[in-house]
Amino acid sequence: MTTNLYQQNIYDVLGVNYNATQKEINEAYDRMIKHFDSSAESSSYTIQPIETRIALVQEAYDTLSNNKKRLAYNKSISSQEASLTPNSVQAAGHQMKLSLQKNKLSNQKSTRQNVYRDYYGFSEKPFDLTPDPKYLYLSPKHKEVLAHLVYGLQENNGFLKIIGEVGTGKTMICRSFLKELRDDFSIAYVFNPAINEVELLQTINSELGLPCETDSKKKLVDILN
């Protein structure tokens, strides 16, 4: 899916400033993608389809992660700011109207989502679809899986796969495991698993801020190592 980035400032899409480093861009991208996983994003009341917003975030990330594309985009927005036409003013007004409508719908949605919390006096929203490691219950089987993850990381065992039925805690264990890692660990979040070997390596290298332009699997592995 291709989106028109010039309809919206891609720095605003990722929530970063013009001088953002690659690390800041990666962190902003991770936050946006994880935000799409939350229960709030699954609502049908949002202005844009989630596929459109994901495509916009992905394209913004790809543009800002490529030096040539980023420089070209910076030049284009500089020229746009230098000549503000009536059409652009009209577009800005339309964008503001959409933003106000979105805020109104967001407030209505927030009221609906807080029914249980307000009625029963809960301190937090119940029945959230996104696992929270704070409430992780380690059964013997969960402890065994977590131990395998820790051992695999310590021994540099490569890929580890966790399998199980829906709702058994796979994502919860992964989030808990990542939460315990030191700050000096680099984490790559692969949002789309339906890709081939080369695309997977390119995605991992891109997430880690490494060169990823080549189509050679050997070169990509060498860069990653």
Same domain, 17 and 113: yes
Q: For the chain, list residues with pLDDT below 70.
A: 1-7, 36-50, 80-113, 129-131, 133
134 in a structural domain: no
Distance CA 12, CA 36 (A): 17
Q: Cα 11–14–18 angle (5° rounding)?
A: 30
Supply the Cα-derived Rg of the chain in whole angstroms.
Answer: 21
Q: How many domains does the chain have?
A: 3
φ, ψ for residue 84, nearest 5 deg: -90, 110
- Residues 197, 144 share a domain: no
| SS3 label, residue 201 | helix
Q: Would you state the structure tokens that stand for residue 180, as one six-digit string?
A: 């315990």
- In the chain, the N- to C-terminal Cα span, in Å, equals 32
Q: Is 173 in the same domain as 198?
A: no
Q: What is the pLDDT of residue 189?
A: 81
pLDDT at 222: 92
125 in Cβ contact with 113 (< 8 Å): yes
Same-domain pairing of 34 and 105: yes
Asked if 171 and 194 sit in the same domain, the reply is no
Q: What is the pTM of this model?
A: 0.39
Q: pLDDT value at position 171?
A: 83
Tell whether 157 and 215 lie within a shared domain: no
Domain that holds residue 144: 140-183
